[in-house]
Amino acid sequence: MAASIVDSLIFGNIFSTDAMRKVWSDENRTQKYLDIEAALARVQGRLGIIPAEAAAEIVRNCRLDRIDMEKLRIKTERIGYPVLGVVSQLVELCDDKLGEFCHWGATTQDITDTATVLQIREALDIVAADLKDISAALADLARRHRDTPMVGRSNLQQAVPVTFGYKMAGLLAAIERHRARLLELRPRVLVGEFAGAAGTLASLEKGAMETQEGLMRELGLGQPLIAWHTQRDTIAEVGCFLGLVTGTLGKLAMDVKLMMQTEVGEVYEPYAHGRGSSSTMPQKRNPISSAYIHGASAMVRQQAAALLEAIVADHERSTGPWQIEWIALPEAFMLTAGALAQAKSVAGGLEVDAARMRANLDMTRGLVVSEAVMMGLAPYIGREYAHDLVYDICREVIAQDRTLLDLLAENEEIARHLDRAALAKLCDPANYLGLSGLMVDRVLASLQP
């Protein structure tokens, strides 16, 4: 019986994905415990810290199908942590009491933290693949609409013309920064833990550092310089990274929602029969994916805040902040996966109405290019005076419901410097796109493989 939104039979694949659920599942977590215990036994067997036959027997039994999950649940509820329950079952499974050498010199948090890092590695691989796909989709939109003029908006008002490619390239640049951040944080975050009760490895009389080094090599993780049982900045960094990623996805969703408004109608989410329809209003086409991205991204930021709270841990082993991570980290990754999946759908199938974009540019009868006119007049009459003169004419455009071009051409002072043909060029939004195209090209040229 699923109660969480990310595990819901109904909502689960809207707010998350099967791939990410698998990463954070009880089964995968438990398998990670077993992988670590097996790796630890192999390393210590090679080093002669535990008998070779014990290492082989432990490795032989480190299989998920040999673990009784119901028995593990009951013991976890009693003890408070699942690792000891896994170790206890391993000890029982091994012949000739060889299982007594399992978990040699380790502590519960060593196994738990290292398992979490292994899960993070798998989860980040999913995020990386999705970011690459979204980058490719946005790059295609930026390239195809490099020169498609549209309204640039400020405070929800028409500002100056831009291109749709420029808008998409801005989002693309942010996604590329997230891809770079992911590469940068991996070496810091993908570091295992093997340090013993208080982090000093006092539990191993010999070969402690060699065990730690060998274990991390077996698992493909970085070796810690010092124990990080209560130094949780790297886990919080992952949460903040997910908050940044989903924040950008939220920005994409916000713009799509606004551009899908009936009065705007410049883009639409990919069409599927019945998607976004209303139970009472047959004409509606709601921005469904964008709404789900908005909700998921907002909740990821809350989980990122919780992970920052978990940094404030007490002494060498904490009382409570650690458990915050158990709740917040999987939730953040699951919701991020859902937002990424929805964003891939939106970016990959976005319907763009270039004609409506042009119509929206023209709807104010030229007011959207008032800055262009002001700057065009500035060399002749000065910038400040040109501003005030064009400002007054803009008010007349509204009052008289006429075009800016007509009123400019009728103004005697302006006519002394620019004829109607020159003014018409200034009043064409397609002639006032600035360096939109160049900036699109710069972003496209910077894409990572």
**Catalytic residue numbers?**
278, 317
Would you tell me how many other CB atoms lie within 10 Å of the CB of residue 102? 26
Residues in the chain: 449
DSSP class of residue 82? S
CA distance 32 to 111: 9
Whether 158 and 364 have beta carbons less than 8 Å apart is answered as: yes
Radius of gyration of the chain (CA): 30
Residue with tokens 């071009």: 405
- In 3D space, the residue among 408, 400, 401, 399 whose CA is nearest the CA of residue 370 turns out to be 408
Chain centroid to CA 260: how far? 23
Residues 6 or more apart whose Cβ sits within 8 Å of residue 254: 290, 294
Whether 182 and 159 have beta carbons less than 8 Å apart is answered as: no
Residue with tokens 């007594």: 100
Whether 286 and 277 have beta carbons less than 8 Å apart is answered as: yes
Both tokens of 418, joined, read 């620019």
Q: How far apart are the first and last CA of the chain?
A: 42
CA distance 426 to 442: 26
Whether 277 and 285 have beta carbons less than 8 Å apart is answered as: yes
CA distance 151 to 161: 5
CA 309 to each of CA 139, 229, 299: distance values in angstroms, whole numbers, following the listed order: 37, 15, 15
Would you tell me how many other CB atoms lie within 10 Å of the CB of residue 432? 21
